[in-house]
A and B are shown apart, each in its own frame.
Chain A
Amino acid sequence: MLEIHNLTKIYDGKVIAVDNVSFEVKKGEFLAVIGLSGSGKSTLLRCINRLIEPTSGQIMWNNIDITSASQNEMRNVRRKIGMVFQHFNLVSRSKVITNVLSGRLGYINPALSLINRFPQKDIEMALKQLDRVGIADQAYKRADELSGGQQQRVGVARAMMQEPEIILADEPVASLDPVLAHSIMQYLEKLNKEDGVTILCSLHFLDLVHEYADRAIALNQGQLMFDGPPKEIDDARFRSIYGQEAKRVG
């Protein structure tokens, strides 16, 4: 259970990115976050694992106050929250398996990890996760030798290595073609349905929202405009989210 109360993020004391947003996410839910570019979706997601420090408000997760957690506590919180990025954010010169294994960094002995030593069971787990996303044969290639779709699968595998309770997906398919987009979304769906991982996923295309999400929230200029099942987004609601001039595509 993730509760967000009156979350606000103001950059440099001027730009309001997230404006007093409150919502709840139940365990095992697939929540889509929609809105125009610059509406505060990425900031909202990054506030949840405090990659960005919120200005005010509270984020409660399993009775832990994330907003006031110390650095040590944050390590324990973050390792249970996986993250998937629009631009994959792989270390391109490292091997695929190293990228996947870096998902275990929050668990393993820091001293040993500095000399690139991972426990055998983590290595086996990494290979298993790569197999699950269908690129086990690419494990020992350099990450930048892979295609975009394959790179995002590595990103998903890395998040899965954390044995996460939540996955934050920041426009995971925005840099991919429609076919690849569906395959990545299907992996997320599988994680959601089979492993019971809560998923918060920001998306651009409403058809993807309709197909995969249980619930959607919408942001416009940092404010929460909508919170409900995706099918309730009718034309009037659509215009309040995307502006009066917007036309529906897809």
Chain B
Amino acid sequence: MEREKSLIKSVSFGLAILFGMIIYAYGFNVTKVNFETTRSEKRLTQLSRIMRALAHPSLFVYEKEELEVMAPIYLPCPKTQVQIHNPDTSDSYLILTPNCAGPGEIITVEGYNIWPNTKGPINFLALSGVNLTIGNLQSDANGYFKAKVKLPKRQPVDVAQMIRVLPRRNIGNPEFSDVAKSTWDKIIETVFLALLATTFGTLLAIPVSFFAARNLMSSQKSPLTNVAFSTIGWPLGILIGLQTALTFKSFVIQLFVEDVLIRSSIGSVLGIGLTWSVIQWLFPKKQDQSNLRKHKIVQSVTVILCVLISILTIYMIANLALVLGQVLIEPLGPIGFVGNFISQLGDVLIMVLPAATALLGGGTLGLAGNKLGQYVSDHMSPQVIKITNICATALAGAVIGGILGNTIDWFYQLDNPQQTLYLPMSIGAILGALVSLRISHKHPIPIGYVTYYVTRTILNATRSIEPLVMVIVFVVWVGIGPFAGSLALALHTIAALAKLYSEQVESIAPGPLEAVRATGANRLQTIVYAVIPQIIPPYISFTMYRWDINVRMSTIIGFAGGGGIGFLLQQNINLLDYRAASVQMLAIAIVVATMDYISAVIRERFV
């Protein structure tokens, strides 16, 4: 029995090894492993040529001076006696042996009294004025050199043509080459590209990460009524928010057709003052709970008014920044880019504000829907809740169906409202009503889990696409250049960091969370007081790591048109200018190593 077992064991072990061999054999076949190529002489010379070029980055250039020495050559040897060349032996001179030869024949060139220890080309100057390099010279300490060169195959000419040597030597101090200068420009661009991508990616990844953290989301459960009402509230709020923002935008633009600077300055100051005083009125220094309660409706109305005023004010400020920045560019002179920065910030604000307002509107109405639903399920009789539920879920289903249908219509341009609007809406409504009939009204819906899975899926899908691929879409959108690269990197950073962050949130100690919840803190307070203090060190650490990754990514994002140093690198590789490519590689290595060092220092300081 024992022996049989050990036999089976050895046989299966042998089979496992065989199986492994087959897998690797197939792997070799698929990846076309061929070590013979690594030894072939031709490839080895090419390899050494490239390696030597890479080891000589063309960082510096010298001003050069040349010495021109010539000697006549006959190609081919003429029929008549040729005039013998008698150079002045006190100066530099060349001796050609023989001084006439047929096309393609080899002659010896010897030089005397050349500059010692210099290099330079040996040229053949044809009668037609064509200049061919046929070899190189390398003089010794005495200024002598000897080289064998092959004459070119050219049309026979009777008169003498010329062999010329041009030994060169450096004069003066070394200077940075053009390659080094353009590499410097591009590496700065690269670093800032990575900086912007990391900053914006991080800012957006933080809120997203909370939605992708299982431990925060798993406890979020709401009755069906809440879910239904907030599902209706969100899109409605988004629409209202978007509409409000766009109305304000056109209003501001109309208001500031002329005297833009003065008018928008006055508007901004007024707006800030008004918002400030309303906030002061809303939250007086001395808090009186009972007093606040009484004016709940007044309070809500003022809050809404306050938000509207601030949106308008932000538009005016953005407009001011946009114009002021442009005005500032001229007088600021060398730091005119600051003016451009202010102007661009204003532009970004104008661009982002509708989205932010839409989100705010959606959030507000979603929350209001949630509250309303909570009120209904707390205070109404079961029958009323049931009927409300059926209506609300049917409506919510119709809204979801309508949104889905519209999305499909946008992508595939079906232009058939029968199919893309009415059908999905009615299916959604029926499904919604069915759900509300099936689920008891007290049963909590794990809305947190739904959010968690949706967020995770979107993050994973986004993360799986490399920025190098993403940049293609952005290049189409905003044109070739570093802006497209930073957008692509920022998007990828959001997805990657949100995942890493959310895993950090998942691994925090649950105790403090429990303790803060027990004090009566609401959801947001729990996050601020129990979650955030725990996740700050890993967040900083991951952000630094991502900044490191982004610097490395941004060095190659130029390959796809995303700006940065990658563009130069690719260009030089394609031009086979390995010495220039070497400069760019060196720059990348220096930047990445420096980044690594800096991030280590920062991490040590904070973590």
Contact = CB atoms under 8 A, between A and B. Distances in A.
A78 interface: yes
Interface residues of A, number: 44
A70 B519 contact: no
A5 B74 CA distance: 121
A71 interface: yes
Given A91-B533, A113-B525, A113-B528, A162 B520 contact: yes
Interface of B: 283, 287, 374, 378, 509, 511-512, 514-522, 524-525, 528-530, 533-534, 536-537
A110 B524 contact: yes
B515 A76 contact: no
A208 to B, nearest CB: 22
A193 to B, nearest CB: 23
A35 interface: no
B525 A110 contact: yes
Given A105-B525, A119-B287, A91 B517 contact: no
A75 B523 CA distance: 11
A76 B530 contact: no
Interface stretch (A11-19, A81-89, A197-205, A210-218): A81-89
Contacts of B511: 85, 87-89
A94 B520 contact: no
Contacts of A78: 517-520
> Main SS of chain B's interface residues?
helix
A159 to B, nearest CB: 8
B518 A105 contact: no
Contacts of B515: 83, 85, 89-90, 102, 155, 158
A106 interface: yes
7 contacts: A78-B518, A85-B511, A93-B537, A105-B521, A112-B283, A113-B525, A158-B515
Given A85-B511, A91-B529, A70 B518 contact: no
A220 interface: no
Given A92-B509, A110-B524, 15 more contacts: A75-B520, A77-B520, A78-B520, A79-B519, A85-B511, A87-B511, A91-B533, A91-B534, A103-B519, A105-B516, A105-B519, A105-B520, A105-B521, A106-B519, A162-B520
Contact of B378 (A51, A70, A93, A105): A70
A89 B519 contact: no
Contacts of B519: 78-79, 82-83, 102-106, 158, 161-162
Nearest to A76: B520
Interface in A109-136: 109-114, 116, 119
A70 B444 CA distance: 13
Interface centre among B283, B515, B534 (most CB of A within 10 A): B515
A93 B534 contact: yes
A106 B526 CA distance: 11
A247 B70 CA distance: 114
B283 A90 contact: no
